[in-house]
């Protein structure tokens, strides 16, 4: 089948582009090498909607960050995903660095960030009593927010899919050639795909994909960041997102509540070569814990429930590369999408959608669906609301994940929806089942039972996250024949 557009990568960038393209009369396909959306950089980051004072003045990064931040409120409403502008503070702990805070303020103003304010020590401590004793001042950015990166990514992809975009999972692009027909021919492990236009949203692999079609090579460095996620009981240790002052390696180790009420600490920044190297290291975690304590006092780090690492797709100029490749017409790069990539994703989608509309002469669909309903959540419902739901569907009366109080009804919803969950991680990212303090110890056998029953996947084929991540190997020897 000939597609008008193939998007490579179903992370936040690819999904945002796909959603914007789904507004138009054009056929679009997203190719994703993993078994689900949100499997790379998009799944392991700080989950912050940055205000936009970090990026260099006049850069595309600055423009898209601020625009993405502006768009996020309405988008979160349209896509039924939780989002909160909790505000961020960049905390200065050395008197001699106070000028740096002023520079950051000025850059933010130049970038168009609204409501920025410099706070003195007392004002900062009043707003955030658990800041370090050493605080000298802080930059206050009330437009900064927290979001669930999984839900943002999943929601954009689902919405694109509802509007006719095809998604092909477990499909890895191995080579791209311009055919004699003038179209792009993409060789994958699942056969050949042909498209008039290609959008490269391959995250840490954006250089590999780009370099398949262009003589003007780019290099993406995976910049690994370790994180610790802390229990909800200490989620209120700080109310705002607390940053140190930035360095040339990035925004530094932040401490922030998450949208779901945990506390997140991270990331470190280590440049590596392995694009799959998202392993945590002892040194990384130690470094993280040491640095996080500089700006926040009494950090309850022993309440950690999990640690993880993410890879930022760092391009040496620290700038988003979003343009048609000069020596490869009809091939559009979205490369170097590192932080603030999550924040910028809606704006990247808007920008690429607009570019392609003009390039391709696209017409808007009459019946484009702009909204999507998320997995129906039961947390916080009143007794009456719960009982109404249980009466309608008794599965909402069975708790599967004890730690996060996730019902069977929510898991069924996550499985039976556009681009539904196929694995334990797929269920986890759509419902939070398994994301709590026991880290799926109790619920994984139950969730496996549901995946087996609903999708007919044999137990041995149920995976954690696709590929070879099978949970169990085989039947025990004690199986009774016919059982």
Partner 1 sequence: MKTYDIVIVGGGPAGLAAAVAAKEAGNDSILILERDHELGGILNQCIHNGFGLHTFKEELTGPEYAYRFIKQVLDLGIEYKLNTMVMDIAPDKTVTAMNREDGMFQIPAKAVILAMGCRERPRGALNIPGYRPAGIFSAGTAQRLVNIEGYMPGREVVILGSGDIGLIMARRMTFEGAKVKVVAELMPYSGGLKRNIVQCLDDYGIPLKLSHTVVDIEGKDHVTAVTIAEVGPDRKPIPGTEERYTCDTLLLSCGLIPENELSRSAGVTMNPVTSGPVVNESLETNIPGVFACGNVLHVHDLVDYVSEEAKRAGQNAVKYIADGCKEAEGANVIELCATDGARYTVPSTINKDRMDDLLTVRFRVGDVYKNSFVSVYFDDERVMHNEKRILAPGEMEQIILQKKKLDEYPNLKKITVKIEKE
Q: Which two tokens stand for residue 204?
A: 């840490």
User: Is 154 among the residues that bind partner 1 (CB under 8 A)?
Assistant: no
C-beta of 424: minimal distance to partner 1 in Å?
A: 8
C-beta of 402: minimal distance to partner 1 in Å?
A: 7
Binding mask 254-283 for partner 1 (x = CB under 8 A): ----------------------x-xxxxx-
Near partner 1 by CB under 8 A: residue from 366, 383, 481, 482: 383
Contact (CB, 8 A) for 343 and 218: no
C-beta of 341: minimal distance to partner 1 in Å?
A: 22
- CA dist., res. 102 & res. 118, Å (int): 8
Q: 277 or 418: whose CB is closer to partner 1?
A: 277
Near partner 1 by CB under 8 A: residue from 114, 166, 405, 418: 405
Alpha-helical runs (H) found in 361-456: 383-392, 408-415, 424-431, 443-455
Q: Which two tokens stand for residue 356?
A: 């392609």
C-beta of 448: minimal distance to partner 1 in Å?
A: 8
C-beta of 336: minimal distance to partner 1 in Å?
A: 24
Q: Which two tokens stand for residue 451?
A: 């995946």
- Helix, strand, or coil (residue 254): strand
Q: Which two tokens stand for residue 90?
A: 């960049």
Q: 335 or 406: whose CB is closer to partner 1?
A: 406
Q: 49 or 450: whose CB is closer to partner 1?
A: 450
Report long-range pairs for 269-272 (Cβ below 8 Å, ≥24 apart). Answer: 269/223, 269/224, 269/225, 269/312, 270/223, 270/224, 270/225, 271/221, 271/222, 271/223, 271/224, 271/314, 272/221, 272/222, 272/223, 272/224, 272/311
Binding mask 296-325 for partner 1 (x = CB under 8 A): --------xxxxx-----------------
Q: Point out which span in 91-99, 109-117, 136-144, 394-402 binds partner 1 (CB under 8 A).
A: 394-402
Contact (CB, 8 A) for 310 and 224: yes
| β-bridge pairing 28-31 and 166-168 | parallel
Q: 125 or 438: whose CB is closer to partner 1?
A: 438
Mention every residue, 6+ apart, whose C-beta is less than 8 A from residue 126.
none
Near partner 1 by CB under 8 A: residue from 62, 199, 285, 450: 285
Query: What kind and span of H or E run contains 336?
Result: none
- CA dist., res. 87 & res. 142, Å (int): 4
How many residues belong to the site for partner 1 (CB under 8 A)?
Answer: 59
Binding mask 178-217 for partner 1 (x = CB under 8 A): ----------------------------------------
Q: 261 or 329: whose CB is closer to partner 1?
A: 261
Q: Which two tokens stand for residue 433?
A: 């089942």
Q: 370 or 469: whose CB is closer to partner 1?
A: 469
Binding mask 421-440 for partner 1 (x = CB under 8 A): ----------------xxxx
Task: Determine whether 185 is an active site residue.
Answer: no
Contact (CB, 8 A) for 30 and 160: yes
- Angle value at C-alpha 79, between 253 and 406, nearest 5 degrees: 75
Mention every residue, 6+ apart, whose C-beta is less than 8 A from residue 293.
132, 299, 301
Near partner 1 by CB under 8 A: residue from 115, 398, 416, 453: 398
Binding mask 443-482 for partner 1 (x = CB under 8 A): -xx--xx---------xx--xxxxxxxxxxxxxxxxx---
Q: Point out which span in 121-129, 250-258, 324-332, 442-450 binds partner 1 (CB under 8 A).
A: 442-450
What residues act catalytically? Answer: 50
- Residues of this chain that interact with partner 1 (CB under 8 A) are 228-229, 233, 276, 278-282, 284-285, 304-308, 383, 386-387, 390-391, 394-399, 402-403, 405, 437-442, 444-445, 448-449, 459-460, 463-479
């Amino acid at each position: 089948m000939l597609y008008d557009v193939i998007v490579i990568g179903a992370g936040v960038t690819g999904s945002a582009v796909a959603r914007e393209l789904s507004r138009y009369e054009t056929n679009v396909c997203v190719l994703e090498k993993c078994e689900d959306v949100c499997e790379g950089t998009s799944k392991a980051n700080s989950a912050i909607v940055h205000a936009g004072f970090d990026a260099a003045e006049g850069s595309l990064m600055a423009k898209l960050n601020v625009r993405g931040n502006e768009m996020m409120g309405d988008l979160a409403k349209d896509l039924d995903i939780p989002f909160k502008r909790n505000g961020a503070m960049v905390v200065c702990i050395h008197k001699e660095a106070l000028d740096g805070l002023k520079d950051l303020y000025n850059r933010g103003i130049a970038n168009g960030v609204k409501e920025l304010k410099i706070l003195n020590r007392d004002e900062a401590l009043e707003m955030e009593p658990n800041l370090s004793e050493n605080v000298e001042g802080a930059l206050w950015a009330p437009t900064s927010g927290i979001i669930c990166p999984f839900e943002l990514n999943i929601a954009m992809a689902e919405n694109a899919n509802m509007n006719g975009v095809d998604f092909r999972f477990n499909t890895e692009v191995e080579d791209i050639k311009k055919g004699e027909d003038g179209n792009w021919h993409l060789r994958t492990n699942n056969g050949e795909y042909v498209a008039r236009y290609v959008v490269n949203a391959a995250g840490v692999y954006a250089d590999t994909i780009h370099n398949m079609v262009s003589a003007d090579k780019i290099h993406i460095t995976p910049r690994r960041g370790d994180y610790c996620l802390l229990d909800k009981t200490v989620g209120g240790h700080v109310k705002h997102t607390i940053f140190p002052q930035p360095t040339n390696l990035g925004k530094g180790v932040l401490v922030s509540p998450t949208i779901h009420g945990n506390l997140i600490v991270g990331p470190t920044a280590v440049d590596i070569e392995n694009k799959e190297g998202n392993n945590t290291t002892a040194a990384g975690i130690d470094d993280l814990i040491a640095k996080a304590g500089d700006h926040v006092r009494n950090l309850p780090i022993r309440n950690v429930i999990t640690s993880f690492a993410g890879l930022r797709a760092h391009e040496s100029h620290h700038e988003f590369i979003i343009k048609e490749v000069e020596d490869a017409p009809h091939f559009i790069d979205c490369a170097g999408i590192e932080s603030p990539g999550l924040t910028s994703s809606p704006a990247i989608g808007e920008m690429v959608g607009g570019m392609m509309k003009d390039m391709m002469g696209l017409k808007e669909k009459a019946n484009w669906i702009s909204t999507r309903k998320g997995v129906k959540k039961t947390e916080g419902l009143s007794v009456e609301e719960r009982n109404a739901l249980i009466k309608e569907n008794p599965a909402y009366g069975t708790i599967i994940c004890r730690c996060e109080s996730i019902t069977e009804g929510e898991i069924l919803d996550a499985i039976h929806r556009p681009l539904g969950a196929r694995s334990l991680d797929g269920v986890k990212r759509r419902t939070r089942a398994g994301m709590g303090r026991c880290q799926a110890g109790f619920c994984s056998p139950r969730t496996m039972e549901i995946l087996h029953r609903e999708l007919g996947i044999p137990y041995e084929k149920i995976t954690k996250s696709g590929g070879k991540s099978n949970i169990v190997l085989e039947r025990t020897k004690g199986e009774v024949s016919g059982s």
